[in-house]
Amino acid sequence: MRRTLFTNVMILDCTGAAPYLGEVLVEGNRITTVAREMNQVSQEGVDVIDGGGATLMPGLIESHAHLSIDDAADLVQIGMIPPEETTLIAVRNARLYLDCGITSCISAASAKPRTDVVIRNAINKGEIPGPRLLAASPWLTVTGGLGDMRTQQMPHMSSMAITLDGPEEFRRMTRELIREGVDIIKLVISGDTFVPHAPSHTTVMSESEIAAAAEVVHAHGKRMSAHCRSANSVKLAVKYGVKVIYHANFADEEAIDLLEANKDWVFISPNIGFTATASYAGEKWFTEQQVQEFGFREELAGAAQGLKELKRRGIRILGGGDYGFFVTPHGENARDLDHLVRYCDFTPMEALLTMTKHGGAAMDLPNELGQIQPGFLADLLLVAGDPLAEPKVLLDRKRVIAVMKNGEFHRRPI
Among 147, 97, 134, 121, CA closest to 324: 97
In the predicted model, what is the mean pLDDT of residues 369-382? Answer: 98
pLDDT at residue 193, as a whole number: 80
Cβ contact 195:145 at 8 Å: yes
Q: What is the mean pLDDT of the chain?
A: 94
Strand partners, 33: 25
Q: Are strands 55-58 and 47-50 parallel, antiparallel or unpaired?
A: unpaired
Q: Structural domain boundaries of the chain?
A: 3-59+368-411, 60-333
CA dist 241 and 258 (Å) reads 12
In the predicted model, what is the mean pLDDT of residues 313-324? Answer: 92
CA dist 199 and 201 (Å) reads 6
CA dist 344 and 238 (Å) reads 23
Query: Among 76-85, 224-233, 273-282, 327-336, which range has the highest average pLDDT?
Result: 224-233
Write the pLDDT tens digit of every residue in 124-179.
Answer: 999 999 999 999 999 999 999 988 876 666 555 567 899 999 999 999 999 999 99
Write the pLDDT tens digit of every residue in 21-36.
Answer: 999 999 999 999 999 9
Predicted TM-score (pTM) of this structure: 0.95
- CATH class, range 60-333: alpha beta
Which CATH architecture best describes the domain 3-59+368-411? Roll (2.30)
